[in-house]
């Protein structure tokens, strides 16, 4: 009997949600950085365990929003949660205290009157103090009645198989929603833009924390299998454009190179990647961008 269902991965920014999903599906479907707010949209990672197809919903970290984009990201996270069969709360167990974001998520989950199982995942045990793990387990379970608690390291792929097996058995019976070898339903154009945004984010976080957006403009497949992709990097100011380009264009060349190499790995073919920088002062208030990212402009 086949099973299939949605598992929402919730948690404070930086808890390791995206790393977990990439490990579970065995490929890069969602971007990762050591900075908060890397994940913007709902990304689905798909995997099979036994007879179950598990569709993970990676959510933007939940935090107190102020800007329009942040509000849309938080709304998307709770939207993902509301549609899921199961919710996994990821907590960074290397932190001594329960952070405000995690506390708020638990409060909101506890206030929901529904029977769906919640799972607690203490992540980053590779750098957590062992006595802290037991204390955290107790404190968190006192606040919310979790159906199970797991201790894992997403980075070291430690303990993840057990979680998968547990989730697989809890999903509802029913046919799979996706072909068995799919690991994502994200369009390649969007994933390609995300990969470039990850490189930008990692290189320029200090200078331009949230000031960037990337869009794939054209995608051409050639007979010899190679692909030509052009992408536009949106920034809000001329001064930001100068930062992205770098001296003599050195910065953008480096970013383009890193993105190209990774895209070639993912697509297993030769890629020609062209990057352009456009100044669009109000890109974060452009409804079209929200539509592309699957976010609610008016959240």
**Which residues are near Mg ion by CB under 5 A?**
17-18, 39
Contact between 19 and ligand GDP by CB under 6 A: the answer reads yes
Does 45 bind ligand GDP (CB under 6 A)? Our answer is no
> In sequence order, what E strands does 80-165 have?
86-92, 118-123, 148-151
Tokens 């001064």 -> residue:
239
N- to C-terminal Cα separation, the chain: 39
**Cα–Cα distances in angstroms (integers) from residue 216 to residues 97, 125, 281, in the given order:** 41, 37, 19
Q: Which of 3, 28, 124, 170 binds ligand GDP (CB under 6 A)?
A: 124
Q: Decide: is 33 part of the binding site for ligand GDP (CB under 6 A).
A: yes
Judged by CB under 6 A, the stretch of 6-14, 62-70, 206-214, 256-264 that binds ligand GDP is 6-14
Q: Does 34 participate in binding ligand GDP (rule CB under 6 A)?
A: yes
Which of 97, 127 has the CB closer to ligand GDP? 127
Does 38 sit near ligand GDP (CB under 6 A)?
A: yes
Binding mask 147-166 for ligand GDP (x = CB under 6 A): ------xxx-----------
State how far the Cα of 11 lies from the Cα of 41, in Å rounded to an integer.
Answer: 14
Task: Assess 127 for contact with ligand GDP (CB under 6 A).
Answer: yes
Which of 141, 245, 186, 138 shows the shortest CA–CA distance to 18? 186
The residues pairing with 187 across neighbouring beta strands, listed in sequence order, are: none
Stretch that binds ligand GDP, among 13-21, 66-74, 102-110, 196-204 (CB under 6 A): 13-21
Q: Measured on CA atoms in the order 126, 130, 134, 139, is the torsion positive or negative? A: negative
Count of residues in the chain: 299
Binding partner of residue 52 among Mg ion, ligand GDP, none, CB under 5 to 8 Å per kind?
none
Identify the CA nearest to 246 among candidates 286, 207, 217, 289: 207
Would you give the distance in Å from CA 217 to the centre of its chain? 22
Query: Which is nearer to ligand GDP, 14 or 49 (by Cβ)?
Result: 14
Residue closer to ligand GDP, measured from CB, 26 or 174: 26
Per-residue tokens: 206: 């200090």
Which does residue 197 bind out of Mg ion, ligand GDP, none, counting CB within 5 to 8 angstroms by kind? none
Residues 104-123 contacting ligand GDP, CB under 6 A: 123
In the region spanning residues 46 to 75, those forming contacts with ligand GDP, defined by CB under 6 A, are 61
**Which tokens hold the place of 240?**
């930001």
Q: Considering beta carbons, is residue 90 or 140 the nearer one to Mg ion?
A: 90
Cβ distance to Mg ion smaller for residue 40 or 170? 40
C-alpha–C-alpha distance, residues 73 and 65, integer Å? 8
Which of 210/219 has CB closer to ligand GDP?
Answer: 210
- Are 38 and 32 in contact by the 8 Å Cβ rule? The answer is yes
CB of 86 to ligand GDP, least distance (A): 18
Residue number of the CB atom closest to ligand GDP: 16
Which residue, 132 or 280, is less far from ligand GDP as judged by CB? 132
Name the nearest CA neighbour of 108 among 83, 135, 81.
81
The whole-angstrom separation of Cα 46 and Cα 53 is 7
SS3 of residue 215 by DSSP: strand
Q: Pick between residue 40 and residue 170 the one whose CB is nearest to ligand GDP.
A: 40
Query: Of 16, 21, 27, whose CA–CA distance to 188 is shortest?
Result: 27
For ligand GDP, the binding residues (CB under 6 A) are 11, 13-19, 32-34, 38-39, 61, 123-124, 126-127, 153-155
């Amino acid at each position: 009997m086949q099973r299939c269902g949605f598992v929402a991965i919730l948690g404070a920014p930086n808890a390791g949600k995206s790393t977990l999903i990439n490990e579970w599906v065995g490929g890069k479907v969602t971007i990762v950085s050591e900075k908060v707010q890397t994940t913007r949209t709902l990304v689905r990672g798909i995997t099979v365990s036994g007879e179950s197809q598990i569709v993970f919903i990676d959510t933007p970290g939940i935090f107190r929003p102020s800007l329009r984009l942040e509000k849309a990201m938080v709304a998307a996270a709770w939207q993902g949660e509301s549609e899921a069969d199961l919710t996994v709360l990821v907590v960074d167990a290397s932190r001594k205290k329960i952070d405000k974001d995690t506390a708020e998520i638990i409060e909101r989950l506890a206030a929901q009157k529904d029977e769906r199982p919640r799972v607690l995942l203490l992540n980053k045990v590779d750098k957590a103090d062992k006595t802290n793990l037991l204390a955290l387990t107790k404190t968190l379970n006192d606040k919310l009645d979790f159906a199970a608690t797991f201790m894992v390291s997403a980075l070291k792929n430690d303990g993840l198989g057990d979680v998968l097996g547990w989730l697989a058995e809890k999903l509802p019976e029913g046919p799979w929603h996706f072909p068995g070898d799919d690991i994502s339903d994200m369009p390649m154009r969007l994933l390609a833009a995300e990969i470039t945004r990850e490189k930008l984010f990692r290189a320029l976080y200090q200078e331009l924390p949230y000031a960037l957006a990337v869009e794939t403009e054209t995608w051409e497949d050639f007979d010899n299998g190679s692909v030509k992709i052009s992408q536009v990097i949106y920034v809000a100011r001329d001064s930001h454009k100068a930062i992205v380009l770098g001296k003599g264009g050195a910065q953008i060349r480096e970013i383009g190179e890193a993105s190209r190499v990774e895209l070639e790995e993912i697509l297993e073919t030769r890629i020609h990647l062209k990057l352009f920088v456009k100044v669009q002062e109000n890109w974060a208030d452009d409804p079209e961008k929200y539509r592309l990212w699957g976010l609610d402009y008016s959240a």
